Amino acid sequence: MTTRDIVLKAENITKQVTSPEGPLTIVRDVSLEIVAGESVAIVGPSGAGKSTLLALLAGLDTPTSGRVWLAGQDLTALDEDGRARLRAERVGFVFQAFHLVPALTALENVSLPLELAGRADARRLATATLDRVGLSARTGHYPRQLSGGEQQRVALARAFVTRPAVLFADEPTGNLDATNGTRVCDLLFELNRDLHTTIVLVTHDHALAGRCTRALHMDDGRIV
């Protein structure tokens, strides 16, 4: 493995927060390296620190100590604007709650990150990506007019439309029934394979974790 291949690296990251009982350590001294094109599941019991670790790796939160590199940049050396810019350019997100904009159609939701980046071909690329996830007949529908599975596929299309270096997913099948969950999983790994996007996901779904290149097991804030 060369340094060039590493798209995500954490070095001794710890996250502490204050609580009524005193300081609480949610992530403890975690180090890891993830290579371009990998799919990595973060698994473990509730309260193990999985979602907090994901947020630290994605630059949505900052560690109390330690450093994180994403796509060759030291996230911990950037201010909030710098982290937001890097996320916009290199990162996609899919969450358990779909986080679609209710007042925008499926096409407008998927176009949004491209339009924010000033891309003139936003609508064309968004249309092609919705077609890819099987929603070409739903481009003019609003989130409330779509099923849960369709909404998650819109969220996937929005995450992948910018061709991110890394896609972070937090319980992407958590709100879906088994059939829709499987369909979203299939799409996730198809896009991972075809676009060479690295996937880092938090899941309680053993079938989803089993399809990843490897799984990182967390317990009490540590990778065990």
Model confidence pLDDT, tens digit, residues 174-210: 888 888 888 888 888 988 888 889 999 999 888 889 9
Q: How far apart are CA 55 and CA 208, in angstroms?
A: 20
Span 31-52, pLDDT tens digits: 999 999 999 999 999 999 999 9
Q: Residues in the chain, how many?
A: 224
Q: Which of 35-44, 94-103, 110-119, 171-180 has the highest mean pLDDT?
A: 35-44
Q: In angstroms, rounded to a whole number, what is the distance separating the alpha carbons of residues 43 and 26?
A: 15
> How far is the C-alpha of 14 from the C-alpha of 163, rounded, in Å?
30
Q: Which CATH superfamily is domain 3-223 in?
A: P-loop containing nucleotide triphosphate hydrolases (3.40.50.300)
Q: Is residue 18 pLDDT above 90, yes or no?
A: yes
Closest CA to 201 of 176, 157, 170, 155: 170
Q: Whole-model pTM above 0.85?
A: yes
Residue 53 · residue 43 · CB < 8 Å: no
| Strand extents, DSSP E, 139-197 | 166-170
Residue 71 corresponds to which tokens in the numbers above?
């796509």
- Residue 108: both structure tokens together: 């407008």
